[in-house]
A and B are shown apart, each in its own frame.
Chain A
Amino acid sequence: MISELFGWLFARLPFGDGLRGLVSPRTVRSLKRGLNRNALAKVGIVVVVIVLLVAVFAPLVAPDKPGTQNLEEARLPPLGFTKATVQEVPVQENGSVVFEDGEILTENRTVYENATIAHPLGTDGNGRDILSRLIYGARVSLLVGFLGTALAMFVGVSVGLVAGYYRGKVDDVLMRSADVMLAFPSIVLAIALIGVLGDSLEQSIPDPFVQSGLSEAVRSAIGLPTGMPETTTLPGTIIVVVALVNWVWFARVARGEALSLREQSYVKAARALGASDAKILARHVLPNAITPILVLGTIQIAAIILLESALSFLGFSSANVSWGFDIALGRQYQSTAWWIAAMPGLAIVITVVGLNLVGDWLRDALDPGIEGEGGV
């Protein structure tokens, strides 16, 4: 099944023919063997697929609108928990308040609030449904994770292939600048770049499910609140910044592959036959370098999701629904409602664990021998 999926995918990509080299029967066999040997890898795949589906179909599966404020229902606990707060309430006798020395007599009373099925993970400080916010937050995290990785991969692989293929001065210049980039801790460089770029690249993209009316129809049919947001934020600045921060890892891997591949006899033969450099890179070098690049890509998606959540936690993202941002909001209620900060963090951990498990599986099965982990 996996091989069919890969085959289907690569038939539709540019360089599809070359990329099919990746799914040689041997590769598929070692991937399958890795999967059989490693039950955790299956868990990882399931987690990643679920998070992906939830993010894509957010308007269909979210129990509530992510932005609806309802102060009456603020800070409701998650299912299974009861929140006890001590409140000062007026003492009542026969239905009227009691005065003493001209003041309303009050007493301290413990008020219990119970979880409701409508908000299974509770509500935040403004009474917004936490589960719905997590589901919409998954969109932001995964958009940044996948698009940021794709952009970083594109930049890094281009630079790395050129550097490794031409060697000499080009290589020196590109790799020395990579060294300089690596001298900045990624989060520090990201913060500085955001300081430069501001929120100039923010975009809103329409949500096809809402625009087409599909989600509204489905939701009203099963009795869920309607009026889901019509657009999703595309945090362009963050995507560009994480790509600018992380391209170096791809460049190093691609360069290493290009350095060894350029000495292969079939590459030399192609050169002798007069193929252009661009064609050699695209047809002969890239397809054979793709395995370690894709394995690194999986690990980098996890690293970039962590980076994005840190940046939104620090307040450098303009996305108003985001796991990191929600943790920052939850900090205000750290003494009264722990779940507001806890839930988005669990969402991050589960997603990143899933991605790391998939990455481990690919790395063990394909053994590309790469370094370059990242975390926050």
Chain B
Amino acid sequence: MSFARFLTKRLLQGAFVVWGVVTIVFGLRVIAPGDPANVLLPPDVDPEVRRQVVADLGLDEPLHVQYWEFISGIPVGDLGTSLTTGTEVTARVARSIPATLELAVAATVVAVIIAIPLGVVSATNRHEAPDYGATLFSLAGISTPNFWLGVMLIIILSVQLNWFPTSQRAIGLPAVLTFLFSGELEAAGAGFVTWLWYITLPAITLGTYFTALITRLTRSGMLDELGKTYVRASRAKGLPESLVRYRHVLRNTLIPIITVVGLQLGTLIGGAVITEFVFDWPGLGQVLINSINSRDWPMVQGSLIVISVGFVVVNIVVDTLYSYVNPRVGFDG
């Protein structure tokens, strides 16, 4: 299958999933108990005012009209208006995206940088101390709830040792980049250090499960590959062990890991929601949790859609990458 056809097919599938997501998100609001107007109005309000507010929100329309209004706004970026603050949902959500993205990317980078070498060391020193260490670490890592890890990191590293700030995001990467491109190198450098200082604990919190998982997958994948005949054949033709391990075994181990990482990105984004709550990190998860608590449905819908669509897009990218690096699959997936 050609690359264009593969991509078209994958994009169509993605579009279908996005439509499903949007429909479910709309449905959630419809079946949710309680009247959105109650969020805006005191309980003892004049029925006429109340009727007016309901009409303004479009809630007196038949359901299919409401659905059409909702769904037709999405392609043009109109996700409605917040019930509590009156701000545009799109603007509010867009403002929170960089914080979540920074966190997710930082966690993934931390995870990959630590996990792959750890998995390699573990697999190539099987039944020795480094292997047991890495295995215990990955077992603990996939079994530890990240919010608790975050709380404990704050208690130990922030409160007791005072090495890191306890919460919040002092500066965003976009601001650092602005400094950089406007030539204010000193400010950019200082900004970056501050950014790093603030994001370290949240990134560790979010990345630990991922690190543990990838360590585990790298180890077991490498052990699988090491048992294959081509490894023996490579040694027989005179390849040094380092070439066998890295150029052959590790490369083949990493290919399937890409898909698992893609599938687990949902977990990562979910984890970001909680991590943001723990560290008061101003991202999409904060928006979601706050708006659920205040029953601000347009905001809930907006953040849900953005999170899910982001996940769908990342998955398409990962699938494409997987087909690209794996000659056996080609673009047939």
Chain A residues within CB distance 8 Å of chain B: 40, 176-177, 179-180, 182-188, 191-196, 198, 200, 302, 306, 309-310, 313-315, 324, 327, 330-331, 334-335, 338, 341-342, 344-345, 348-349, 352-353, 356-357, 371, 373-376
Contact = CB atoms under 8 A, between A and B. Distances in A.
16 contacts: A177-B20, A183-B311, A184-B311, A186-B266, A187-B271, A191-B289, A196-B33, A310-B147, A310-B274, A313-B148, A314-B277, A341-B151, A345-B144, A345-B145, A349-B143, A349-B145
B28 A193 contact: yes
State the 5 A-B residue pairs at the shortest beta-carbon distance, nearest first: A185-B270, A180-B20, A345-B148, A187-B270, A352-B143
Interface stretch (B88-96, B152-160, B180-188, B229-237): B152-160
Contacts of B39: none
Interface residues of B, number: 53
Interface string B257-284: 0001001101111110110010000000
Interface string B2-30: 00000000000100111011001100100
Contacts of A376: 145-147, 209, 267, 270-271, 274
A372 to B, nearest CB: 9
A353 B289 CA distance: 28
B269 to A, nearest CB: 5
B152 A342 contact: yes
Contacts of B82: none
Contact of B263 (A196, A348, A371): A371
B274 A375 contact: no
Interface stretch (B67-75, B168-176, B300-308, B325-333): B300-308
A313 B271 CA distance: 13
Given A185-B273, A186-B266, A313 B24 contact: no
A196 B31 contact: yes
Given A179-B17, A195-B295, A349-B143, 17 more contacts: A180-B24, A182-B266, A195-B292, A306-B145, A310-B147, A313-B145, A313-B148, A324-B145, A327-B151, A334-B154, A345-B145, A348-B148, A349-B148, A352-B145, A373-B264, A374-B267, A376-B209
B32 interface: yes
B142 interface: yes
A193 B28 CA distance: 7
B121 interface: no
Chain A facing B: main interface SS: helix
Contacts of A195: 28, 32, 292, 295, 300
B24 A314 contact: no
Contacts of B147: 309-310, 313-314, 324, 327, 376
B285 to A, nearest CB: 8
Contacts of B307: 184-185, 188
B6 to A, nearest CB: 17
Nearest to A196: B32
B213 interface: yes
Contact of B213 (A182, A186, A306, A375): A375
A185 B284 CA distance: 13
A296 to B, nearest CB: 15
A262 B295 CA distance: 47
Contacts of A196: 28, 31-33
B140 interface: yes
A191 B273 contact: yes
A375 B272 CA distance: 12
Contacts of A338: 155, 160
Contacts of B83: none
B288 interface: yes
B162 to A, nearest CB: 11
A188 B304 contact: yes
A184 B266 CA distance: 7
Residue of A310, A338, A356 with most chain B CB atoms under a 10 A cut-off: A310
B139 interface: yes
B312 interface: yes
A353 B17 contact: no
Contacts of B263: 371
B143 A192 contact: no
Nearest to B315: A183
Given A184-B21, A195-B32, A353 B308 contact: no
Contacts of B160: 338
A188 B24 CA distance: 13
Contacts of A373: 142, 213, 264
Contacts of A344: 148
Interface string B25-56: 10010011100000000000000000000000
Nearest to A346: B148
Given A184-B304, A345-B152, A375-B213, A335 B267 contact: no
A200 B34 CA distance: 13
Nearest to B18: A183
Nearest to B270: A185
B267 A375 contact: yes
B90 to A, nearest CB: 19
Contact of B143 (A177, A182, A302, A324): A302
A348 B277 CA distance: 19
A185 B288 CA distance: 13
Contact of B288 (A40, A177, A191, A375): A191
A184 B301 CA distance: 12
A191 B292 contact: yes
Given A180-B24, A183-B308, A371 B260 contact: yes
B139 A357 contact: yes
Nearest to A376: B145
A344 B151 CA distance: 12
B127 to A, nearest CB: 12
A338 B153 CA distance: 11
A224 to B, nearest CB: 29
A327 B145 CA distance: 11
A80 B273 CA distance: 36
